Structure formats: C-alpha cells, structure tokens
Amino acid sequence: MEFALSEEQRLFADSLRDLLTDRVTIDALRRHADSGNGFDPALWDELTQLGLPGLLVPERFGGAGLGVLDAAVAAEALGAAAAYVPFAGSIVMATLAFIHGATEAQQDEFLPRIAAGEIRFGVGISHDGTTATAAIDSGVPTHLLMYLPDGTAAVLPADTATIQTHRSIDRTRPVADIRFDPANATILNAANAPLAAMHRVLDTGRIVLAADTFGAAQHMFDAALAFVKQRTQFNRIIGSFQAVKHQFADMVTVLEPCRAMVWYAGYAQDALPDEARLTALQTKAHLGDIGRDIARMTTEAHGGMGFTDLLGLHYWFKRISYNRQMLGSPEQCREEAARLQGWA
Amino acid sequence: MDLSLSDKHRALQDEVRAFVRTHGHKSPKLGGGRKRPDQKTRDWQKLLVDHGYVGRTIPRDYGGFGLEPDVLEAAVVASEFAAAGIYAGMTNQGISMLVPTLLEVGTPEQKKQWVEKTIRGEVIWCQGYSEPGSGSDLASLSTKGVLEDDHFLVNGQKIWTSSAHYADWMFLLCRTEPEASKHDGISYLLLSMQTPGIEVRPLRTMTGRAEFNEVFFTDVRVPANQIVLGRGKGWYVANVTLKHERSMIGNAEKMTTRLEQLITLLKERNLLGTTEYRDRLLKLQGEVLAWKAHNLRLLTEAAQGIDSGVKRMIIKYGGTMLGFRLASLAIDTLGTDGLPFESAGEDAEDDDATTWNIDYLYDVGLMIGGGSNNIQKNIISERGLDMPREPKVARA
C-alpha cells in the first residue's frame, strides 16, 4: 500500500509548475483578465509540447494514457497559477467522453487531435436537447460536447452552433450559453449505459475542479502565510499575534486533508469503482466549502491590500468562486450524493 | 498510488482473520478502561502478545514478538480487529508511553523488569505528569523530589491521573534540581503505588464518571535507582515518548465507525428525509472522507520514515473537533429522547442515548487533555508553519 504521488507524477507536476510560474506572471494574468477570452494560444502550444492535452488520451491515439489522479495533479498546478487554460472540460471531460462513450472509429477521428492540441471542447449539459447554459471551457472552442437529456454525448463543430459568451466573475474564464442543432452532431453512441458514462465524465470534471480549487487555495494560503511573517504593526510581526496564528492553524487543519481527499477521489475513479461516485461528489462539495473559507481568510490576512486590485489576490478568490458553482455546487453535489445513497 | 496490500500484508491479513475466527469469541467487550482489567481481559492480552498483535516490534528478550517496525502491519492488524469489532488489546499509558520510553532510554535491568509484565497487562501503570498549577505549561511542575541518601523524598500533588485508583506503579515527573532551569530540573521516576504516603482521590468529571484522579504525595520515599536516565533528564525522557506517537492510527477508523453509527441512527429515526439533518450528515461524511484519505497519507509517510510535520500536528485538534461534531449530530438526532441520561454504571452496558451522551461529553475532555486545542494551535502554527513565537512576558 502506498498512498502518495509517484516520482513521475511529482516530476510532471514540477515541470508544469515551472512553466506556469514562468509564463503566467501576475502581469500576464492581469492582461488576460482585461482582454482575453479564456484561451492563450502561445501558452497552449507550450503546454501541448509538455503533453498536457494528451494526458488522458490512450497511447495508441498519441496520448500519455494516464489516469484521473494525474489530471488532478495537473489541475492543482493550474489552479495554483490561476492559469487561463481550458482543461477540466476541454481536455479531461472531452477525452473521457470519447474513451467511455465513443466507437473505435469516433475515437480514431478525435482522440489524436485532442492529444495534438488541435481541437478544444466547450462542454455543457442540455436539459432540452438544443440549448445549454454555463458551458465550461467555452471561450473559443473548436468543438462542443453537449450532453443530451438521455445521457448520450453529442459532438459538433463550434461554428455550427450559436455561442453567446459571458465574461464571468473569474475574468480569466468565460462561460457561455449555447444553442445547437443535434442534427449537426456526431452522437457518441458506443456506451452501454450512457447515463453511467455521463456521470463518470461529469464526476471526473468535478474532481479536476476540486483539485484546481485546492491548488488555488493552497496558493492563497502560502501567500498569506508569507505576508503575515513579514508585515509589522504595533512593533511586532503580525504573524506573532496568537489570533493570527490560530487562524492559520485552523486553515491548515482543514486545508491539508483536502490534498489527500483530491488524490483519493482521483485514484478511486480509476481503481475503486464502488467508491468513485460518492468520493467525487463529496470531494467537489467539500473543496467548494473549504476553498471559500480559505479564500476569505487569506484575503483578510492581507489586510486592506488583500482587497485591492493592486495585489491581484482576487484572481484566485474568484477562481475558487467559479469552480464552486461549475459542474455542481456543494449543495447540488451533496443532494446527488444523498440520492446515490438512497437518502433522498 | 496503490491501495492494494502487498503479499506480506495480505498474508498477515489472512492470519489475523483466522485468529479472529478461532479466538474472537474470547475477546472482552470493547470500551472499558475505567476499572482494573479483569481476568478475561488479561487472558486476551496474553493471547495477543503470544500472537504478536501486541508488542509486535518489542525485542523477544523483553517479551515481545521481535519483528522489525512496520507501520502498515500495525494498520492491518488494527483495521482487522476494528472490522471484527473485537478488542485490540489494552491501550493504557504503561503500554503506549512507558514501554517505548524504557526501550529507548531505560537500563537493561529496567527493560527486563518492566517491559514484558507491562505489555502482558500484569502491571498497570499511571502517568504522574499534570499538576493543578502546571497544565499546558507542564515543565513548570513543582512536585518536589529531594535526594536523601539512597532515595528521593517526594512531596506534592498530581492531577488528571487516569487509572491511578487501580494502577500498580506510576511513572512520575518531579523537580529534583530546584537550582536548574525549568526544563533541566526535572527527573523521571518509577514508583509503586503501594509506597506509603500516596493518597488517591477520584475526580468525577462532567460525564458523571471518575475517569481521573488526584494523587497526593506526602514524604513518599522512592529508591534512587528507580530513576530513568538520570537526574535532570526527566523532560528529555518524557519527550522521547512523543516520537512514538501512534495516535494517528485508528483515529480515522474511529471517525468512520462513528459516522456509520450516526447514519444508522438517522435511518432508525426517519430523519434522512429531513434536509436539515441530512445536510449536516452529508457534510460530516465529506469531512470523514477527507480525514480518512489524510490518514492514509500519514500512514504511508510513517512507513517510509518521513516526518510528516504539520500534517501530523493537525491530527489531535482536527480529530477531536470532528469527533465532537459527529457526536453533536447524534445528540440533535435524538432530540428530547436523548435527554434522559442514566449511566448503567461501570459494569453494565449503557443504552444508546446514554452512550452517545457520554461520547459527546467525553469529547470535550479530549479537546482539553494531552495538550488543549489552543495549545495544539500554537504547536501547529509555531512548529508546523514556522510562525513567530509569542513574545515572552516578563515574570512578575
């Protein structure tokens, strides 16, 4: 038994972090927030060279063939950097939709292009079969992955649909309302149980967003801790005040177990089918709540500067807020967990 | 990442399961600890020692099973016993604290004399640490031990002494070097509770039970050779034990068991359909899942010899708070039905409502004992997060 990241996973996370630290500077983040659309072609190209789009694509289709835990590790790094990269929907959910729901021919047509970084998916859930609101990764997608009411997945070129993009509270990641004609779509119809396949894709998206929130929250925590160790008031380092110290003790006590929880949920998706759904839903819900608490307390710890645009901490605050609502808020995820266990 | 067991650990799992099938019926009931272990409990303890489920890594010369330390083995054994609902052996302070301490810093004679008897439950120890004026600031303790010829003359008072009312021996911290600094003036002595001059008074707590005692020392003579390591080394000796902190193991299992009991309770009382109760349960389920995963991570690090640092330091604070929140929901689920509270006494089993009430009350004690939560938060922030220590206030 070994509950830890492998050497390869750590090295991959390190190289991703290094790249993101270098490219997603606070100035670049600010520029993208002011004028970007959720997609930076130059950054995407570099991440493609690192193999990010093909992370979950099976090796025979040109990918790395890795698992959900690896996706969670990558998402943590993206969240820590507040990187404007379409990942949860465009890379992870779309890849898994093809793996779990597509015919061999459909896989052959799309998966190599996902791995090569050539196509990107906005992902939405349609309750009426022709529209979807708040689709994820829908800034400038090349394709759309729309889940239909019966759980089957419809894939269509983005230019065949009407995409109304809204800037979101997280200025680096828009959301979109989509109107599409299923007649234009390729239906992924190889899944024996389309609803189960859809749940698997959605749950994985939830884990990836939870991991992203964890990375963002840990970044905010580290920044706040560094700040209170150097800021002086009343002739004292403010981090020496017990009220401040105890707040940080409270934060680390709830935040640190979240890392293991995200790992567990990622591992369970691929290795523990009986626990996979419950842990995914609970992890998304738990990280939504803990993420909000950490975002608030770490902003508070920075004092007035924390509230300013100048410091830029709010990008992470808003990223956590976006992740909380996307693909199921804590309330919705817990309600689904209740139904899953026959409690509701 | 791989949660499957290795062949070695799977073999151990099979072995423990076979043991449970063969011997499980001899297990005493879970719980207890407030009275001296009875014959059944002592017989069970010996069976566990003989099979290597207690004292597994203690050298054979000292009555143990002589295996190399393997945290995962300990976890496999603990989880099989928990799953079968049978007693995993005595967890008194002699076994959990004195034995590892003696093995590390005791003389060969002390090890020979005490280790085997202690792990077999033949000698029961109590821990003489806290004093009325020295709780969180333990090193300020003032019970005196004055060396006179071949013995220390001990005078003073201890408090919060679990099991002192039936213990055979005590390991005691007292001040033998009054001229030395706070931490360097303490010695660690072993003494028989039969020594003249010791008075034990039970201390009833808010649970209605006497889980602790006050112990008074009046001219108690302790032979000078019953010191561990030497004069003024007591603080060091007491801290040796901390390295053997094992509280992380079993902690997540306790939370999981409690959560399962809570789910059963809510089902029985038809409250899963009431969103206010169900939501609290679902939130707690999420917290327990996070806690379980965190414990798996700690277990892996312990097995690899990694010092988990702040990850370990949060266990006591986070665990006691989570335990209390679980018990609190049980109390709220019981509602007015949980108000009648009548403990059946030391020898009988309490009804469910009283058991939950006792857990609920006792958890408050857990938040205070063994380093209160405010002290835990100081430790987490200062040692775990490297935040500046409190400025010292000048002594009056």
Which of B260, B282, B301, B373 to mutate against chain A (most A CBs within 10 Å)? B282
pLDDT tens digit string along A268-317? 999 999 999 999 999 999 999 999 999 999 999 999 999 999 999 999 99
Nearest CA in chain A to B286: A282
Alpha-carbon distance B320 to nearest alpha carbon in chain A (angstroms): 12
Beta carbons of B6 and A283 less than 8 Å apart = no
Torsion of CA B346, B348, B354, B360, to 10 degrees: 50
pLDDT tens digit string along A302-314? 999 999 999 999 9
Alpha-carbon distance B249 to nearest alpha carbon in chain A (angstroms): 15
Query: Are the CB atoms for A53 and A190 separated by under 8 Å?
Result: no
Mean pLDDT of B13-20: 97
Nearest CA in chain B to A280: B286
- As annotated, the active-site residues of B are 245
Alpha-carbon distance A108 to nearest alpha carbon in chain B (angstroms): 30
Mean pLDDT of B369-379: 91
Beta carbons of A264 and B289 less than 8 Å apart = yes
Asked if pLDDT for residue B303 goes beyond 90, the answer is no
Asked if pLDDT for residue B316 goes beyond 70, the answer is yes
Distance CA B299, CA B3 (A): 12
Query: Are the CB atoms for B255 and B115 separated by under 8 Å?
Result: no
Give A-chain residues touching B311 at CB under 8 angstroms.
256
Tell me what pLDDT residue B340 has.
85
Beta carbons of A245 and B273 less than 8 Å apart = no
- What separation, in Å, do the N-terminal and C-terminal C-alpha atoms of chain B show? 56
Give the closest of B281, B297, B380 to A252, CB-based: B380
Give the ipTM of the model, two decimals please.
0.96
Per 3-state DSSP, chain B is made up of helix, strand and coil in percentages (nearest 5) of 50, 15, 35
Distance CA A201, CA A159 (A): 24
Tell me what pLDDT residue B250 has.
52
Mean pLDDT of B282-296: 97
Tell me what pLDDT residue B33 has.
57
| Tokens, residue A246 | 């105890």
pLDDT tens digit string along B159-218? 999 899 999 999 999 999 999 999 999 999 999 999 999 999 999 989 888 889 999 999
Tell me which residue of A67, A82, A85, A96 sits closest to A9, measured CA to CA.
A67
The SS3 assignment for B147 reads strand
For residue B270, the Cα-to-chain-centroid distance in whole angstroms is 36
The chain-wide mean pLDDT, for chain B, equals 91
Q: A327 or B254: whose pLDDT is higher?
A: A327
Lowest mean pLDDT among A191-205, A238-252, B245-259: B245-259
Lowest mean pLDDT among B6-20, B36-50, B99-113, B342-356: B342-356
The burial class, CB within 10 Å (0-12 / 13-18 / 19+), for B206 is exposed
For residue A201, the Cα-to-chain-centroid distance in whole angstroms is 13
Distance CA B52, CA A292 (A): 47
Distance CA B99, CA B118 (A): 7
Give A-chain residues touching B391 at CB under 8 angstroms.
236, 240
Beta carbons of A263 and B282 less than 8 Å apart = no
Tell me what pLDDT residue B370 has.
80
pLDDT tens digit string along A9-33? 999 999 999 999 999 999 999 999 9
Tell me what pLDDT residue B138 has.
92
State pTM to two decimals: 0.93
Per-residue confidence band for B136, with pLDDT thresholds at 50, 70 and 90: confident
Distance CA A194, CA A50 (A): 32
Asked if pLDDT for residue B363 goes beyond 80, the answer is yes
Beta carbons of A252 and B285 less than 8 Å apart = no
Query: Are the CB atoms for B134 and B88 separated by under 8 Å?
Result: no
Asked if pLDDT for residue B126 goes beyond 70, the answer is yes
Lowest mean pLDDT among A337-341, B94-98, B208-212, B357-361: B208-212
Query: Are the CB atoms for A141 and A121 separated by under 8 Å?
Result: yes
Beta carbons of A334 and B290 less than 8 Å apart = no
Give A-chain residues touching B301 at CB under 8 angstroms.
4
Per-residue confidence band for B148, with pLDDT thresholds at 50, 70 and 90: very high
How much is the CA Rg of chain A, to the nearest whole Å?
20
Alpha-carbon distance A289 to nearest alpha carbon in chain B (angstroms): 10
The chain-wide mean pLDDT, for chain A, equals 96
pLDDT tens digit string along A129-171? 999 999 999 889 999 999 999 999 999 999 999 999 999 999 9
